[in-house]
Amino acid sequence: MPPVANTIVSILFDGLAWAMFLFIISVGLSVTMGLMGVVNLAHGAFAMAGGYLVITATASWGVPFLPSLLIAFVAVGLVSVLLERSLYSQLYGASELDQVLLTIGLTFMVIAVYTYFYGPQPQSIHVPSYLLGELHLGDRSFPTYRVFLIAVGAALVAALWYGFEGTKIGAMIRAAVDNRRMAQSVGINVDRLFTITFAVGSGLAALGGGLAIQLLGLTPSFAVIYLVFFLLVVAVGGSGSIWGTLAGALVLGISDTAGKYLFADAGSFVIYAVAVLILLVRPAGLYGRE
């Protein structure tokens, strides 16, 4: 393969893996924001909590890697229901400032608790051997774990697409995002809908956190470091939309990877520049409504 094509394939492949990670975590944030307008800055903390649960499950309880991802999804989803009922329910109709402050406060508390129990040092994880190594395709080889990440992401996109477009609850969510008051007046219980969406979204964040450890490592500050990326994806994609989140994740994931490949020094600058440019042209995001 000529070197240029080689670089392009690398950028697309790594960018796709990075985009899938961004999508898995951000999709819950996007849909809950579209439903209730709550800016949840604690979303990164759910991802971080999921990551630590996967580490504990695999290292201390002897659970295999894949089931422990499922445990993280379910457990964090359930805990988030408690938080939603007790704390977040206070925020409906609150000012943006109150939402920002309460969720920053929650994030700090969660970071403090995890630092206390796990320490500030980065954690690593032992993934099963069939996810290590490389897959050979033509004259290129790709890291198996990233292929796995892309596959999981693609499966989730398909599942969420079916859930949104093919089921009754998906139709109810779309209706409530479009026009909450109208949805309520035809008898949709938007509060309960929100609880369910919030739980699934937080569970997915936990799943994403578990999947990310192998690539990024895990420290308690994961909750803030990557939060910026999730917010960027939601803002660029437009809140309340799965396709928007997917588009945002792909654009930012691939441009970020391209930036790091092509301009080693200014690389981390690219993702912000791209996001800002898109928002300047489309303030409500790619799929958002004005």
Partner 1 sequence: MDASRPLAPAAGRDESGAARTRALSFLARRDRYHVAEALPWIAALAAFFIFPNQMILGGQTLIMILFALSLDLILGYAGIVTLGHAAYFGLGAYAAALLITDLHWSEPISGLACAAVVAAIGGFFSGLILLRYRGLALLVLTLSTTIMLQQLGNLFRDFTGGYDGIPGINISPLFGRFDYDLYGHTYYLYCLGVLFIAFYVVRRIVYSPFGQALVGIRENVARMHALGSPVHWRLVIAYTISAAFAGIAGALFAQTNTLVTLGVFDFDQSAAVLMMLILGGAGWLYGGFVGATLYMVLQNELAKMSPEFWQFGIGAILIAVVLANRHRVFGKLVRRVRALGFGAKP
Residues that bind partner 1 (CB under 8 A): 33, 39, 87, 90, 94, 96-98, 100-102, 104-113, 115-116, 224, 228, 231-232, 234-235, 239, 265-266, 268-269, 272-273, 275-276, 279-280, 283-285
Task: In angstroms, give the least distance from the CB of 112 to partner 1.
Answer: 4
Nearer to partner 1, 196 or 224 (CB): 224
**Following DSSP, what letter does each residue of 217-282 receive, concatenated?**
-B-TTHHHHTHHHHHHHHHHH-TT-HHHHHHHHHHHHHHHHHHHHH-TTTHHHHHHHHHHHHHHH-
Q: At 103, list the tokens.
A: 């969720």
The least distance separating partner 1 from the CB of residue 238, rounded to whole angstroms, comes to 10
What tokens does 49 get? 């909590």
Q: Cβ 86 to partner 1, closest distance in Å?
A: 10
107 vs 214, beta carbon nearer partner 1? 107
Q: Which is nearer to partner 1, 41 or 211 (CB)?
A: 41
Question: Collapsing DSSP states into helix, strand and coil, what is residue 93?
Answer: coil
Report the alpha-carbon angle 135-143-275, nearest 5.
130
CB of residue 164 to partner 1, shortest distance in Å: 21
How far apart are CB 58 and partner 1 at their closest, in Å?
Answer: 25
What is the rounded distance in angstroms from the CA atom of residue 121 to the CA atom of residue 112?
Answer: 13
In terms of CB distance, is 4 or 97 closer to partner 1? 97
Return the number of the residue (70 or 87) whose C-beta is nearest partner 1.
87
CB of 258 to partner 1, least distance (A): 16
Closer residue to partner 1 in complex, CB, 210/253: 253
Tokens of 158: 């398909």
Q: Residue 196 — φ and ψ, nearest 5°?
A: -65, -50
- One DSSP character per residue, 131-148 reads GSSEEEETTEEEEHHHHH
